[in-house]
Structure 1
Amino acid sequence: MAVDRSLAIAPHAVQVADRTRHHIAARLLPFLFILYITNYLDRTNLAYAALGMSRDLGFSDRVFGLGAGIFFISYVALQIPGALLVELWSARRMISATMIAWGSLTVLTALVHTPGQLYLARFLLGAAEAGFFPGVIVYLSHWFIREDRAKATSNFMGAIPLSSVLGSPFAGWILSHNWLAVEGWRWLFFLEGIPAILLGGVAFFFLTDWPREASWLASAQRHWIEEKMQQEKPAGEQTITLWQALRSRTILLLASVTFLDYFVLYSFIFWFPTMLKRQTGLSDVRVGLLGAAPYLVTFVAMQVNGWHSDKARERRWHSAVPLFIAATGLLGLISQPRSIPLSVVLFTLACVAYAYLPTFWAIPTELLGQSAAAAAVGMINAVGSVAGFAGPYLFGYLNTRTGSFSYGLALMMISAIAGGLLILCAPRSAQSATQTAQADQLDL
């Protein structure tokens, strides 16, 4: 009888596990995906608004480069507090507050008339958005077991390319209309800021901070996910200070990778529409339509890469290869081809760099415990976000000085290759990370 009972329990336990994993994914991922689409639209709409602002306000490439980059000064400063608020306070309160704040600031950006006003609006927007991304990465580690984490992260971060698939044609269409005698780029900021305000209110009531608080899970499901998360905690997990994080070779390596790769990503996303327009001479509407194609391919690549990474249980090569592919596209773009099909193909290859994100961001939450990961994710993203300032600004500066995109593209290519090589040096497992930490006289 005892044998029969154990045989009956095993399938039931598997059923509870499968149902719990599916229920959590179905509940959280679609909503977080929508929030991140809104986040990226509000962060990057300047790339398309620049097409109209340069004409109406006379802003130079250097002004737009600084406007895009100054966002990251305040964004960097508040990364770690944002991640820690999710761990120590409340994810739903933090996410709700940041969304309402950044939505309001996006709407107000429609009122700018001078470079100084643009810089102020972007600086405040960076402060408002700072806690969202690292907070969600930590939040996902509260809900998704290790074997599901890269796929969950890829589903969430798929919002980055999809926001451009949806946002590029929308932006191009809005820019072609001046309703009520108001410039199209002003309407763009207004219409893309309102959804963030509304969704911020919804997030407060929809999200749940911890599995133990999830009334939408059955008792057996709550018990299973809490027990599974406890089992996956690294042995000897301890809280680490910011100073300890700064001394950890593992965290510093991951932060360096993020800096190099964010230099590529943010330079690309802010200058892609302008490069495409100047190389092809297309209208704003056609630039918006063609600009969606590379991001659609990238969305698929991101999902496949995250799925295969979980299946293979490998992170480093799945993070490095997309960066090497991007480097080949950037190499081709240095020649600034005039062929529209060739330009789109090369831009698509460069855009594949985004596929590294979900597998990379699964690494710190697997190598470190929850408390350590919260500080580490904030620090890693903060260091990377410095490149969010340096990349767009330096790209615009070089273009203004030389009259060519080639120098900026060459820097992006070098950064992609260096980042890919460096990530291959990351520890393979939590045990390897612990040994490295012990060598640093750290106990992560």
Structure 2
Amino acid sequence: MAFEIYLPLTDDPEGDAKAARLAGELGEIGNERFLRAVLRDPAAFHHRSTDRLVGWVTATPGAVEPNSSLLLRALHLSFTAHLPLSLSPDLLWYAVVHEVAVHVRLNSVAYEGLFTDTPGFRQTITVYDDSAPSDWERSINLVQEPLRERIGTETAELFQPAFSTTTSADATAALVALMDVVSPYYRFRWKSLCGIPRIRLEGTAGDWDLLALRVRGLADRFEGLRPWFTALHPVLDEIAATAAGRGVEQEFWRSLYKYRSRSGGASVTGWINAFFAHRYTDDGPCPKEEFGPGSSSAGDFPSHVSRVPFRWQTLVGTFDMAVLGGVLGIERDEEWIRPRLGHAVVELLPADPRDDRLPEPWYLADIQRLTGSREARLLDTLGTVTHEGTLLQVDCGIDVEEGTCVVRTVEGDWYLGDLVSNAGDIVCWENCGPDLGVALRTL
């Protein structure tokens, strides 16, 4: 709904012609130059609810972009080019609040009682939002609740009327204007730091005591794992103490997955590492030497799926089967993320034969999966293979993609190289050591 006001112009053919020409020359010039002029300091834009700005393109080199109000610029465009103007109550409300903000900044002591209960001390309002980069409008509005708690709902609503014309962008602009008003009393901070906000320990305190007790029972029977169990016991004891209501050690629980919930990278640095006695590589599990909190990559962990093969004899034949058990799923239990134990039964179908040229336990399909190259293939012909001018004796070569190869020497090291002829000649450029997985990941 809108109300239109008609303002007939005086009869002026020459002026009308000039206005029509100016209107025809208007174009979309974007608002980046204007915003940079307002900011004055260098800036990179992460979000703009609008990037539109109609104006006249100037060809003057080095022309200075004016930084005065676009409201006034819109009036000038309408007035000069005889174009109708559309105004919203949201727009004029913002203009009023903007002036209030300036007044409060100039007289902050006089209005402390209206906006803060800590005169002379500037409070910090922190917004925690890991998804801010994907939706800044939503993230800005997360200020609403903590700001209302401080200045009161009545004051907050006074500054944020809802008109029938109000869009989400309008409402957000009004909120930013209010933030500007209270800026002498509050500073704002955004934190996009991944973390686990709450952890639920299912069952009873007795269950968690029993867990710690049974692990100690295992430690008595497996001498070779004693260093691992020694590192694991304190972790289980702390969990049991929490479940028993003996207090929550914040730093401990914040360090479950990432040490002190610190973001960044794919490494696992928390005490969950203590639950793993082995490091899992493409060539199989390797015993670990350190078992406490540390740094492990996602590839260092097992599948947590146990596989037990069996043969199933039926009236129609005998089948190779396997029963699986372990962590088979993740469910959403209302707001909680819940890893789920489960089991499955599968029939083992005939697999493509493994090429004996590949080291155990590698299949060509493993290489294709790891490299993302469906074209990966074993080289049937190996010609002259060199590394920095030195001839290499090789017994296996894999063309991973378009002539990029990995080859294995008779000594067992894997090299990266380029296939340079149809005769299988390869020029190598890096020695990756005896681990095929490391070589493939280096590509």
Higher-strand-fraction structure: 2
Fold shared per TM-score above 0.5: no
User: Which is bigger in relative contact order (C-alpha 8 A, separation at least 6)?
Assistant: 1
- Using the size of structure 1 for normalisation, the TM-score is 0.22
- Using the size of structure 2 for normalisation, the TM-score is 0.22
Larger C-alpha radius of gyration, 1 or 2?
Answer: 2
Higher-helix-fraction structure: 1
